[in-house]
Structure 1
Amino acid sequence: MDDYINNQVTEENENRATRRVKTETHRSGPEDSGRRLYRMVAVSFGMLCVLQVTLNILLRLVYAERDQLQTSYNNLTVERDQLQTSYNTLTEERDQLQTRYNNLTKERDRLQNLLCEKPCCFDGWRKFDSSCYFLSTEDKTWEESRQDCLKRGADLVIINSREEQEFIFNLNKRVWIGLTDRQREGTWKWVDGTTLTTEYWYDPQPNNSGPTGEDCAEINNDQRPLKAWNDSPCNRRLNWICEKVV
């Protein structure tokens, strides 16, 4: 009888304990879940705040760099426009000076013609000793240059003296002169048929080194005044000097 009573008491206690655990489990389960959810929401919100702050900082840096680049571009544009304006002004001044120089040169030639003994040189010609000289402003072959001189009642220049050589050299142009060995290689003659006697070649000229021959003479103004002649292909295009004896 006692054993039965004890078993009943023990079974009842176990049932009470089981109900207590279930009751506590039922009471504590939803509350813990809510707390965990709250913590997750709080952490997520915090991370979003950090991301927002980081994004704001990055955007500010990007905008600041963009503004700096725009400012640099604007400054360079202003500087470029200033340089272009300066260039245009200098170009205009250069053209004005060139025009003035040309006018003064014409006036000088005109006055020289008024002062020289008759017959005098025409406008555009320069007088030296007893000849008038015309310096071209365009390039032609040696034969074309000679034909131009003949049309002007002159011929390619014949250099007869050291003074005349220095005068032509000081015109500061690379020019054809009336000297050629086209009839016979190595025998240089002036356009009037006279054989060359006084020479002003620079070493190692004349060397006839061109693939088609170098049979016409030029004055190379990059050399020294009395060492300035060079043999060159006759089809080369250069300025030229016409001479008319007056």
Structure 2
Amino acid sequence: MSRQNTRNGVRQRRHLGKKAYIVIAVTVGLLCVLQAVLNISLRLSLTCSGETEKILKSLTNEEELKNVTNEEELKNVTNERDELMQKMTQHACSGGTEKSFRNVSIEEELKNVTNERDELKQKLEQYGMQLTSLRREKDELQTKVNLSDHHQKQHWIYFSGSFYYISTNKKSWQNSRNDCLGRGADLIIIDSREENEFAGAFQKRLWIGLSDRQNEGNWSWPDGSPLRKSFWQPWEPNGYSDRDEDCVEINNFDPENSWNDISCTEQNFWICEKKTGV
């Protein structure tokens, strides 16, 4: 019984050992298979990783290349833009400068033309003034000629801006003056040596306009002006009170010493003077 049990026990242990061996063998086999699978997986993984890395690297290179290309294109476009902008600026500057030069040239020409116009206008005004002056002189001369013709027909003589009439008969001082007034003139007023010489050139004893009839000793002319320049003979005027010598005659033909005071009732030739006003 005990042997039998022992045998059974031994048999059971053998059977269990065999099962254990099988289990171990299977386990080892599974482990080997698993190891092989892992190795394959790892190899595949490594292979895939390498390929992926290559692909990624390739993609990166392509991207970098693309970026480089884009950067170069951008740089080229930027350069072209800058060149175009520079050309436009140069063109604008050139156009502006040309326009500026043109404007300056036009302004200078306009200034020159304006100056020439002003000079011509000034000359024209001067010529106009000269023409006006010449016309006035011409009119004055024409008036003098007309007056001269008119008065010469009536025996008047022109001298230094006045016409003179020398009588052909004799009268008193007052009557002589009345004759002059009737001719639109008056007895001569002598205010220069030249005029006194002119009056003496007729070689006649002539009444002149000087007298002191209004105020004894205060000699004056017919227009009321006082005596300022005189041509008395030596010791004249002497004015004898009993003869009432209040009027003046020319009786000496020396231009510096020709006047003499005598009575206004004496009979003398006379000389009238008419101012022409021209």
Q: TM-score, normalised by structure 2?
A: 0.46
The answer to whether the 8 A contact 2:156-2:165 is kept is yes
Root-mean-square deviation (CA), in Å? 1.9
Q: Kindly tell me: are residues 182 and 115 of structure 1, through their superposed partners in 2, closer, same or farther at Cα, counting changes over 3 Å?
A: closer
Residue 225, structure 1, aligned to residue 255, structure 2: yes
Q: CA deviation at 1:115?
A: 10
Partner of 1:194: 225
Residue 119, structure 1, aligned to residue 150, structure 2 = no
Paired residues, what number?
A: 133
Report Cα offsets for 1:42-92 as digits up to 9, x if no partner: xxxxxxxxxxxxxxxxxxxxxxxxxxxxxxxxxxxxxxxxxxxxxxxxxxx
Shift of 1:239: 0.3
Based on CA coordinates, which of the two structures has the bigger radius of gyration? 2
Contact conserved, 1:210 with 1:233, CA < 8 A, in 2? no
Go from structure 1 to structure 2 and tell me whether the alpha carbon gap of 1:174 and 1:114 turns closer, same or farther (over 3 Å shift): farther
Structure 1 gap segments, 5+ residues each? 1-112
Partners of 2:265 and 2:177 in 1: how far apart? 12
Residue 118 of structure 1: how far off its partner (Å): 4.4
Deviation at 1:226, TM superposition (A): 1.3
Matched residue, 1:167: 198
SS at 2:180 equivalent: helix
1:136 is the counterpart of 2:167: yes
Partner of 1:152: 183
Query: For 1:113-141, what per-residue CA distance to the aligned partner results, in whole angstroms no more than 9, with x for missing partners?
Result: 99954433512011101000000011100
Which of the numbers 266, 269, 277 marks the counterpart of 1:236?
Answer: 266
Letter in 2 for 1:233: S
Structure 2: any 5+ residue segments left out of the alignment?
Answer: 1-140
Structure 1 counterpart SS, 2:165: strand
**CA distance change for structure 1 residues 210 and 237 in 2, over 3 Å: closer, same or farther?**
farther
- So what's the TM-score if we normalise by structure 1? 0.51
Q: Distance in 1 between matches of 2:197 and 2:242?
A: 31
Aligned to 2:275: 245
Deviations 1:102-159 (A, max 9, x none): xxxxxxxxxxx99954433512011101000000011100000000000000000001
Residue 209 of structure 1: how far off its partner (Å): 1.7
How many percent of aligned residue pairs carry the same amino acid?
A: 47
- CA spacing shift, 1:171–1:114, aligned 2, 3 Å: farther
Distance 1:184 1:203 in 2: 23
Equivalent pair of 1:174/1:219 in contact (CA under 8 Å): yes
CA distance in 2, matches of 1:149, 1:137: 13
